[in-house]
Amino acid sequence: MEASTTIKQMLAGNKIFVPAYQRAYSWDTEIEKTNTPKQVNVFLSDLIDYNKSSTKTRYYFGHFLFEEKEKTTFGVIDGQQRMTTIVIFLSALFNRLKQIRVLKEVEQETFEDIIKRNSTYRFDTVDYDKQLFRDYVIDQIKKDKKALETESAKRIVVAFDFFNVHFSDKDEKYLLKMLDTIQNASCTTHPVKDESEAIQMFIFQNNRGKKPSHLEIIKAQFMFNVHLYGAEEKESLIEEIKIRFEKIYKSISSIEYRINEDDVLAYTLRVHFNSLWETNAIDKINKLISETDPIPFIKSFTQSLAISFEHLTTFFGKDERENIEIHSLVTLGGIGIAMPFIIKAYKFGLPTTKINLLCKNLESLVLRHRLIGTRANITSRLNDVYQKFNTENIELKQIIDRIEFLKTTKDWWWSYWSNSELEHLIHGAINHSTAKYILWKYENYLEGQGKSGYSPTRFEKIVSPELEHIAPQTENPETGYDKYDEEFINQYIDCLGNYLLISKSHNCSIGNRPFLEKRTSYTYLAQQREILDLTKDEVIWNKEKIDIRHKKLVDFILQKL
């Protein structure tokens, strides 16, 4: 493989793959135009801009770092996101060209050099996405998109579909110009046989489209240190790290839409060192591996990482689907303070009933923390009970007692999250996602009253939930609402009592209509019917009615959440 080459020459005659211990495809595609286009969109727009320009220099695709396994077989260490996207792009391009006409001999040769010759695929992504990549992208075999198991597989499908749509109306001239630009684009390569050298180079290089995560950097540092200090254990330790990170990246591909991998790294740090104060993973780990024998720590922390991801895959997967308490905490969001407790609970093998109890109590605290918005440090109020939560003290009483104390105490240092503070501050405007969460909980409360064995409705069962302002933000000159004086505008329009959970289609249909027309449509949810009952004697939505409903909601939060 030449140091300075072209995309076609780099791929032709070679077998390039993404090693199992590397992350899977992580480039996103924005289907609709936004102010911050995603990596796949930028990839395409850069090519389009280049082809429109009058430049005579070759398009440059950057640097690729490889580990040479055999003479023609290379594991891509840096540049895999670009390379994956290039192959997806070219496969979609050839797909369109074949629809227009039969490939010419030179085009067929190019296809076989850079995509596939007979049964030989020139490029493969990570093992768990490899068959999907071959079937959907290279061979264009239709797949059930709902059955895709990983987020990386979904990204591959979305990117391929995106390029297919882009090419769908393009003519032969456009396609051939794009093909020429790609296959003759220049790039530089650096194949190394020494894995430690490849890893060291990765540490100091940034990916062109998406910088390495902290987790990727930590993985590279671990492997490099094992190469330096592993002695006779080196090969077995490298293999162990690879296997653990293969499992970690599989977990990431399953849950990354729920949680950030670098957040999991931080949570693992807090679990591993038994302190909620641990924050900067890279600084902490760099200090440890530079000051002590790094091998024991690398072994133990890599194991802790794998365990954390494994447990969170269960938490955000099967357990979240089957347990309303877990689903409720996840729906609330902003649950970083809760996650080290959750990981410990799984680590200690607590039964689901106790994990549900823990989630219910942590949910109550997280909600107060979000609504009150205090700058007081909650970590200092929880760290001691967190540290005492261990294999010798797996009962949850201390944690639950501390949360209950924070909700009821009047001691100034502890009382920032108290019910009295909550009641005082909840009268102002509330973040819309939090308001929707509260109204969803309230809906289940209303529906469950007087019903034994009631099964709460999951949040996603409400079709496209939106937040409706019963009294609209823009004054309606027709009757049905209070006078839009300064008090009504500043204190009532954006308060919880004036919010209603509603489907998107319902919200669009009623818009800014008079209250009588809105009221007639309030028949779907229990809280909508509550508005009907509240206004049955006087069909008007004013300060008095909003105050009554607001009090109902505040009482519900204080007593039930």
For 72-94, write each residue's pLDDT tens digit. Answer: 899 998 888 999 999 999 999 99
Contacts of residue 181, defined as CB under 8 A and 6 or more positions apart, other chains included, come to 47, 50, 51, 59
Residues 479 and 507 in one domain: yes
Last residue of a domain, one of 322, 355, 390: 322
Residue 6 DSSP label: E
The two tokens of residue 384 are 């001691």
Residue 439 sits in the same domain as residue 417: no
Q: Taking the mean position of all CA atoms in its chain, how far away is CA 542?
A: 41
Written as six digits, the tokens of 76 are 């891509």
pLDDT single digits (tens) 373-415: 888 899 999 999 999 999 888 889 999 999 999 999 999 999 9
> Do both 396 and 480 map to the same domain?
no
pLDDT score of 359: 97
Contact 546, 530 (CB under 8 A): no
Q: How far is CA 182 from CA 73, 115, 175, in A?
A: 22, 13, 11
- Residue 54 is assigned to a structural domain of this protein: yes
- Banded pLDDT at 208 (limits 50, 70, 90): very low
Query: Has residue 100 been placed in a domain?
Result: yes
Task: Using DSSP, state whether 286 is helix, strand or coil.
Answer: helix
When the pLDDT of each residue in the chain is averaged and rounded to a whole number, the result is 89
Number of domains observed in the structure of the chain: 4
Q: Which of 469, 461, 507, 512 is nearest to 488 (CA)?
A: 469
Residues 443 and 475 in one domain: yes
What is the model's pLDDT at position 201?
64
328 in any annotated domain: no
Quick one: pLDDT at residue 3?
75
Cβ–Cβ < 8 Å for 496, 426: yes
Residue 42 has pLDDT above 50, yes or no: yes
> Domain for residue 205, yes or no?
no
Mean pLDDT throughout 111-115? Answer: 93
Whether residue 151 lies inside any domain: the answer is: yes
Top pLDDT among 212 and 154 is at 154
Residue with tokens 């219910």: 360
Q: Which of 1-10, 192-201, 376-385 shows the lowest mean pLDDT across its residues?
A: 192-201
Q: Which domain holds residue 294?
A: 213-322
Q: Quick check: is 87 in a domain? A: yes
Q: Two tokens at 339?
A: 């996650």
Same-domain status, 249 and 274: yes
Torsion, Cα of 253, 254, 257, 261 (10° steps): -60
Mean pLDDT throughout 126-134?
A: 91
Percentage, residues of the chain above pLDDT 70:
96
**Residues 344 and 250 reside in one and the same domain:** no
Which residues face 466 on adjacent strands? Answer: 502
- The burial class, CB within 10 Å (0-12 / 13-18 / 19+), for 252 is buried
pLDDT at 196 over 90: no
Helices 281-291 and 294-314, packing angle to 10 deg = 150
* Mean pLDDT, range 4-8, rounded to an integer: 90
246-291 pLDDT tens trace: 888 888 877 877 888 899 999 999 999 999 999 889 899 989 988 8
Angle between helices 234-255 and 214-229 (to 10 degrees): 170
Check pLDDT > 70 for residue 44.
yes
Considering only residues 245 and 16, tell me which one the structure prediction assigns the higher pLDDT: 16
**Domain closes at, from 299, 322, 345:** 322
Taking 60 as the threshold, does the pLDDT of residue 207 lie above it?
Answer: no
Give the residue from 168, 198, 228 where a domain finishes. Answer: 198
Considering the domain boundaries, does residue 528 fall inside one?
Answer: yes
Q: Could you tell me the pTM of the whole model?
A: 0.80
- Whether residue 78 is found in the same domain as residue 133: yes
446/381 same-domain check = no
Name the residue among 148, 199, 5, 170 with its Cα closest to residue 89: 170
Tell me how far apart the alpha carbons of residues 141 and 132 are, in angstroms, rounded to a whole number.
9
Asked if pLDDT for residue 244 goes beyond 50, the answer is yes
**Residue 87, SS3 per DSSP:** helix
What pLDDT, on a 0 to 100 scale, did the predictor assign at position 198?
A: 67
* Residue 176 included in any domain: yes
Query: Same domain, yes or no, for 366 and 404?
Result: yes
* Per-residue pLDDT band at 199 (split at 50, 70, 90): low
Exposure of 468 by Cβ count < 10 A (0-12 exposed, 13-18 middle, 19+ buried)?
buried
Same domain, 36 and 125: yes
Same domain? 181 vs 217? no
The reply to whether 254 and 360 lie within a common domain is no
Mean pLDDT to the nearest integer, 553-559: 93
What pLDDT does 1 receive? 65
Q: Which helix (H) or strand (E) holds 468?
A: strand 465-469
Confidence label for 205 from pLDDT (cuts 50, 70 and 90)? low
